[in-house]
Structures are given as C-alpha cells and as structure tokens.
Structure 1
Amino acid sequence: MKAVMSIQSHVSYGHAGNSAAVFPVQRMGIEVWPIHTVQYSNHTQYQEGWTGQRFGSDDIRTLIKGLDKIDKLSECNALISGYLGSPEQCSAIAEAVRRVKQANHQALYVCDPVMGDPDKGCILPDGVTEALTEHLMPLADVIVPNQFELAQFTGMEINSIYDAVTACKKAIELGPKIILVKNLHSISDKEFTTILATPKSCYLVQRPSLPFDKSPVGVGDLITAVFTACLTKDMSPVLAFRHTNNAVYGILKHTQEQKLWELQIISGQYEFVEPTYDFEPKRIG
C-alpha cells in the first residue's frame, strides 16, 4: 500500500493541519504517517484561545530516524510539509526530504508554504518565510501556495490571472515541477479561483465562493492533502486538480449546509472518493 508522510501542525479538536490531512488521505486508500510540528487543543481562531505546545526540530529528526531504522522510508511515496514553527524545523524538513528521496527516488516532496495570516492568529517566527522561499520551496517537486505565498516566492505582484500565470512560470523556473495556487483572492469576490501550472501548460478552475459566518480553517491543508493523495494514486496533475477542487468544494458545501465552520470531513467523507460536484479545469496558457 502506498504511503504519505505528513509533517505539519495538529489540533485535538476540529480539522486543521494533520487533523485536516490524515483522514482524507486514508479515505482515499493511502497510508499516512503524521508527524506534528505543533499540537494544540484547537485551532487559533477560537476567541477563547488554545492550549498546547510546539515541537522542536530534533523531535522531527528523531521520528524520521525511527522510521529509517525500521526500513520504512523506502515505502514513502510522498512527503507533505505544512505549518512550520521555526527555521530549525525547516532545516529538519530539508533533511527529511533528502533521506526519503535517497530511500525512494520516486518519492514526491509537496510543500505547502504556510507563511502566516495575522487575521487568523497565525504568526510565524522570524526566519521561517525566508527558509521556506530560499530552501524548501526550491527543493519541492510540488508547491501549493496561496496568492500571497506565490508572490513571496517569486517576488512578483499578482493582481490578475495573467500575473498569476506569469508568477507560476517563474516559480517553475525556481525548482518545483507542479504549482497549485490554492486561492487567488484578488481575482474575484464571487468565485474561488485556483490555478494549476506545469512546465507544459496552466489551468484555471473557478467555483462559487460560499458564505460563512466564520471562515473555515484548514481548507488549504485539505487542498494539499487531497491533491497529494491524487498524485500518489498516479492521477495526472490535471485530473488531480479537478478531483481536488470537486472534493474540497463538496466538503465546504456540506459544512455550510450543517451551519458550521469546522470542516465536516467525517460526515462528508464520500466527497473524497466520489465528489458530488464537478468543475472542469480550463486551459489558460
């Protein structure tokens, strides 16, 4: 059975980070090996606060060494990195990627370059953004940035579809082979816009933006997880892009219908296998 290693944050209640990634990938028929960078009681948008702890870079290294000791790194088909709480954790991720790829040359490294969002209470320590843009993103086979993170990586201002396509092409020149821009917020208020870029072409999907009283947390983590699972199942990038958009929209629609803001990935799990909706990617470059 294929396996994905997922190194990112974790919450005990709700679905963000590994809590948004592990079950969907498992539901799609793939083993998941989660390694947590932080462990909190709940995500940071709760006004009541949260409790928990950050883990050190050596905690990551120790778990990687343990997996290597039982000769499992060769069975890892993809490694996801998400929220990282220090530059030292970024260094540990780079080491993990090299060890996994040494054991399995076909393994993918999928980097979700979480760079913080002050509006959601997600503040990065100094040095993390630089470590992501200078070391981890160029090392990745696949990156899944939002508009801000793509702009940080490429040094380009993005205000249009043309700007986004140009930035994606520059990003590919910097190392990654596949770019999934999970949210182009400046393109449309009525539609949620995503772009897929490969060395050959770019594709666009626009789906309705769904109103919530409070914005769901963990949507980006879910996008990265489902897209990685699709690639691990040997879907083409375009088919993986289509399936990901359809599945994630289905989960959001189901969550909205329940009048909730925590992603309802358990009760909506059918979406990961047979999505209810279908948004066909449009080739744009």
Structure 2
Amino acid sequence: MKGVISIQSHVVYGHAGNSSAVFPLQRMGFEVWPIHTVQFSNHTQYQQGWTGKAFSAEDISELIAGIDNIGQLKECNAVLSGYQGSAEQCLAVKDAVAKVKQRNPNAIYVCDPVMGDPEKGCIVPPGTTEYLVNDVMPMADVIVPNQFELSQFIQLEIESLEDAIAACQKALTLGPKMVLVKHLHSISNDKFTMMLATQEGCFIAQRPHLKFAKQPVGVGDLISALFTAGLLKGWNAEQAFAHANNASYAILKETQKRQEWELQTIAAQEEIVAPVEQFTVVQVK
C-alpha cells in the first residue's frame, strides 16, 4: 500500500491541517504517516483562543531519520506539506523531501504553501513566506496555493481569469509541474472557483458558493489531500482535480446541512470516495 508523509499542523478538536488531510487520504486507500508542525487544542479562528505549541524543525528531521532507519522511506510515494510553525521548519521539509526522493525517485512532493489570509490577518511566523517562495515551492512537483499565495510566488496581482491563467503559466516555469489554485476569489462572487494548470493547459472547476455563519477552516488542507490521493491512484491531473472539487463540495454541503463550521469529514466519508454531485471541468487555455 502506498505511503504518504503529511507534514502539517494538527488540531486535537476539529479538522484543520493533518486533522483535515489524514482521514481523506486513508479513506481513499493510502497509509498516512503524519508529522505535526504544531499541535493546538483547536484551530486559531475560535474567539476563545487555543492552547498548544509549535514543534522544532529538529523534531521533523528526527522523525524522518527514524522512518529512514527502519527502511520505510522507500515505501513513501508522496510528501504533502501544509502549515509550517516556523521558518526553520520549511528547511526541514525541504531536507525531508530530498531524503524521500533519494530513497524513492518516483515519489512526488505536493506543497500547500500556507502563507495566511490577508482578510484574517497574517497567521504564519516571520520568514516563513520567504522560505516558501524562494526555497520550498520551486522544488515541489505540485503546488496548491490560494490566490494570495500564488500572487506571492509569482510577484504579480491576480484580478481576472486572464491574470490567473498568466500567473499559473509563470508558476510552471519556476519549478512545479502542476498548479492547483484552491480558491480563485476574483473570478466569481456566487461560485467557488478552482484552477488547475499543467503543461496540457489550464482548467477551471466551479461549484456553488455555500453560505456559512462562520466559514469552515481546513478546506484547503482537504483539497490538497484529495488531489494528492487522486494522483497517487494513477488518475490524470484533470480527473484528480475534478474529484477534489466534487468531494470537497460534498463535505462542505454536509457541514452546512448540520449547521456546523468544523468540517463534517466523518459524516460525509462515503462521498470522499464517490461524490454524488459532479461538476464539469472546463479548459480555459
């Protein structure tokens, strides 16, 4: 069975980071070896606050060394990274990816470059964005940024579909082989829009923009995990993209139905594998 190392944040209660990504990967048939960059009681959007701590970069390196010591890095088919609790952790992730690829040259690296959200305020430690842009994202096979994170990577503002296409095309010249923009908010007000860019072209997938009293957290982590799982199943990029869009919508719809703001991943688990509603993927370039 294919193994995935997932290096992300973790919350004890709810679904964000590894708590959002691990179960969907497992449900789609993969062994997941989670490494936590931080461990918090709950995600950081609770008004009451949260407890917990960030781990050191050395913790990541030690865990990777331990897995290597028992001869299992060669069984790792993908590294997925998300929120980093320090700038130094970015370098530990970079080293981890290099070591995995040394043991298994066919392994892929999927980078969800969490840089924060300007509307919510910066949530990443100083220096993290710079390391992601200059060191981590260029070495990734796949990047899964939101619109803001993509604009930081290519140093251009995105205000239209044409801008998004140009941004993705530029990103493909900087190292990554695939770009999945997990949310393009400039494209539509009433539909949630994602974009995929590969050497074959640019594609968009749209679904209804569901309304919530409080916007769920961890959706990007979910999308990254679903897309990674699709690629590991051997699906082509467009198929994996469509599935990530359809399955994430199913989970959000169940979350809305239950009037929750923590993702209802467990309740919607059947649709992680076989989402009922299917949305068309359209090639735009």
Q: Where on the TM-score scale, by shorter chain, does this alignment land: which range?
A: over 0.9
**1:174-253 to 2 correspondence within 5 Å?**
174-253=174-253
Structure 2 Cα separation of the partners of residues 234 and 120 of structure 1: 36
Structure 2 Cα separation of the partners of residues 118 and 200 of structure 1: 32
Does the 8 A contact of 1:156 with 1:167 survive in 2? yes
1:276 paired residue number: 276
Does the 8 A contact of 2:4 with 2:32 survive in 1? yes
| TM-score (norm: length of structure 1) | 0.99
Structure 1, 230-239 or 116-125: larger mean CA deviation: 116-125
CA positional deviation for 1:86: 1.3
Structure 2 Cα separation of the partners of residues 121 and 7 of structure 1: 23
**1:9-88 to 2 correspondence within 5 Å?**
9-88=9-88
Structure 2 Cα separation of the partners of residues 69 and 187 of structure 1: 48
What is the one-letter code of the residue matched to 2:133? T
Structure 2 SS opposite 1:240: helix
| Cα deviation digits, residues 23-69 of structure 1 (max 9, x gap) | 11000010000000000000011111100010000000000000000
Does the 8 A contact of 2:28 with 2:272 survive in 1? yes
Does the 8 A contact of 1:45 with 1:121 survive in 2? no
2:93 paired residue number: 93
Does the 8 A contact of 2:255 with 2:264 survive in 1? yes
Structure 2 Cα separation of the partners of residues 169 and 119 of structure 1: 26
Structure 1 Cα separation of the partners of residues 260 and 120 of structure 2: 17
| Cα deviation digits, residues 83-137 of structure 1 (max 9, x gap) | 0021110000000000000000000000000001254465212110000000000
> Which residues of structure 1 form unaligned runs of 5+?
none
| TM-score (norm: length of structure 2) | 0.99
**1:111-126 to 2 correspondence within 5 Å?**
111-117=111-117, 119-120=119-120, 123-126=123-126
Q: Using the aligned pairs only, state the percent identity.
A: 62
2:105 paired residue number: 105
Structure 2 Cα separation of the partners of residues 271 and 240 of structure 1: 14
| Cα deviation digits, residues 194-251 of structure 1 (max 9, x gap) | 0000012111111110000000000000000010011111110000001110000000
Tell me which stretches of 4 or more aligned residues in structure 1 moved more than 2 Å: 117-122
1:131 paired residue number: 131
Does the 8 A contact of 2:117 with 2:148 survive in 1? no
Q: CA RMSD in A?
A: 0.9
Structure 1 Cα separation of the partners of residues 46 and 120 of structure 2: 9
What is the one-letter code of the residue matched to 2:93? I
Structure 1 Cα separation of the partners of residues 217 and 120 of structure 2: 9
Q: Residues 122, 9 of structure 1: CA spacing in aligned structure 2 closer, same or farther, 3 A cutoff?
A: farther
> Which residues of structure 2 form unaligned runs of 5+?
none
1:256 paired residue number: 256
Number of residue pairs matched by the alignment = 285
Structure 2 SS opposite 1:276: coil
Structure 2 Cα separation of the partners of residues 234 and 182 of structure 1: 21
1:148 paired residue number: 148
